[in-house]
Structure 1
Amino acid sequence: MKFLGYVYDAFGHYKAPQTLEDEFALVKFINEYLEAPQMVVTDLNDNQLLLTREGVDFYSNLSSLGIELGDVYRQIREDQPDSEDDSHQKPPWEALYDPIGLSPSEVRMRQNVKQSCLAAKTVKDVAELLKETYFSVYFYNQKRDKCWGHLDVENLIAELLLQDGEGYWYDTGSQVKLEGESRVHHLRSSEDIHEFLLLDTPTSLEKML
């Protein structure tokens, strides 16, 4: 069976789809582009079979064709070249987090939070997903010259940060209450920090110094 593979960049653009002639080509495609901003696999009738974003699978209907995604991941790991470093024998998330000593449960929690960040639509969504975690979150305005961080997830109060002449962010000491329904767009996630663009920045916040 043939498939079509789409690879998106960070701006949602993609080039012409790749035709994947068989399951082996499908596995190779997934292995190559799993960490892309977005990857989509469809059949030749444009029925979606797989959707991943930055290594996280959001949707899979490959099982309807008798293809189990878990088996695909295992095949990818088995195809990795042998190495004295046993990280090649471990799932990608284990190899990534082993050096900093995270438990499997904490790794799963981090992966779940990252997936939730990608799906978050509002400030309230972000606050909810950060509850009972130790992660930090920062919201940037459209011009990227103001930032609100150190969010209190219960009352949505955050501190205003500005940039100095060298581009470093510093606390101003001013606290503001963000609007829970303000729309957000996920920018990036690092180990313990999640950053968002605040799409609906209230005028009162923009005028703050």
Structure 2
Amino acid sequence: MAGLWLVTATAASAQLEVGGRPDIIRVDPREEAFSLSWSDTEERLQGTLRPAPIRKGQPFQVSLDVGSFEGAPFEGPIVLTLRPAGASLGQSVTVKPQGRHWEATFTPEEEGPHLLDVSFRTTRNKALHGAFEVGASVLPRQLAWGLLAVGTLALLGYSVFSLLRAPRPDPQETPPQTPEPTPPSAEVPPAAPESPEPVAPTPPPEPEPPRDP
């Protein structure tokens, strides 16, 4: 991916340089920024676009330094415009110097080849153009993890809510349960009372024999 945007930005800049146009800003992709450079017989311009690569929807900063080869230092404002390649209008801002630097922040609204127009006036009006590529938007890692955590918590909360909202049977509407019949126990009939054994009659006593006188 890094090699792709390096090649694309260099190719876009090379296309503008065809014919040796003097109003082209040289754009060189670096590891963390694009370096800008331009000069003519009167002034020179140096600066950076950072961070690199530049992506759709993510702000980047333009920092420029304009100096004069002769005469008084250049102190005028600079008009900066960011526009897609082929478009006549774009985001435009007038920047006053902050010390020896002119700075502005832009946020690309679409991806693809873009131009940064730099306009200022010294002995005459000068309008310069630098070409670079705007890549597709990518979520920052912290934001991606944050969205994943929020989605996980939302799913967990919805699951708990669904469990709590599940319909439960009303105890008043529960049909009474019929007790199962108990099998009759085998009752043992009471034992018949034992009849008493017959008692033999006692014989009468025998008479005593008569005594002799």
Q: Which has the higher helix share?
A: 1
Q: Shorter-chain-normalised TM-score: which range?
A: under 0.3
Larger radius of gyration: 2
